[in-house]
Amino acid sequence: MSVVGDLRVLLRLGDFRRLLTVRLLSQAADGVFQVALATYVVFSPEKQTSPTAIASTMAVLLLPYSLIGPFAGVLLDRWQRRQVFLYGNLLRALLAGCTALLILAQVPDWLFYVSALSVTAVNRFVLAGLSAALPRVVDAERLVVANSLSPTAGTLAATAGGGLAFLVRLTVLDSATAVVLLGAVLYLCAALASLLMARELLGPERAPDRPRFGAAVASTVRGLGDGLRHLARRPAAARALAAMG
């Protein structure tokens, strides 16, 4: 079956369609916010771009994946995923609005980066939750296809969001603040879209043998330590990972 045919079959599933809507809106907002952040730092006429500023922007975009990503699963196994999408996107809308105000106020750079980092940090939980929720809305027969198509659609939505951000700056209003506020509106729309799903629909299940929270965090920390020691003994592998990052 073709990709379009697979997607058409999946879109007949109402719960999958609603979950995909949340993903598309969330990742479109991510694309808008990331482009707004990059253009403000690199192209803003009132700022003198430096290598440090560009490195700080990259850190804001990438650090949440490295620092928060390993622990996202521990928390998502304990939080209702529908609520993660609702409150996570509401929080991002609020934080994006705060970031827009900080741009207007021309505050010190470190305060701007902290605000922007907070927005991208929440993103890690939302993306992990979207993937974890898929088995709850798609049967086992179609799960592999859904797992391949949903992230691809999300990436396309993020790209479209980035393009929309550029378009707004070029044709409507050449203002980083306006673009950040556009991202905030899209985050708010994603939060509202999550309300179309039942609170309990996306799990997680209450497993009787689930480890205690502290034990799960400790196990994750030990796993990270083992991974770092493994890389320390294999410099070639460490360099390959650094190049990919």
Residues 170 and 129 in one domain: yes
Residues 140 and 167 in one domain: yes
Q: Give me the pLDDT at residue 65, please.
A: 63
Residues 218 and 198 in one domain: no
Residues 13 and 57 in one domain: yes
Q: Structural domain of residue 235, as residue ranges?
A: 212-245
Report pLDDT digits (tens) over 185-225: 999 999 999 999 999 999 887 766 777 767 777 777 787 78
Report pLDDT digits (tens) over 29-61: 999 998 888 888 776 655 555 666 666 666 666
Residues 120 and 234 in one domain: no
Q: Give me the pLDDT at residue 131, please.
A: 92
Number of domains in the chain: 2
Q: In 3-state terms, what secondary structure has residue 107?
A: coil
Q: pTM for the complete prediction?
A: 0.84
Maximum Cα–Cα distance across the chain: 57
Report pLDDT digits (tens) over 67-119: 666 777 777 788 899 999 999 999 999 999 999 998 888 877 778 778 888 88
Query: 104 Cβ partners below 8 Å, 6+ apart?
Result: 177
Could you identify the residue written with the tokens 């109402």? 14
Position 13, amino acid:
L
Residues 244 and 177 in one domain: no
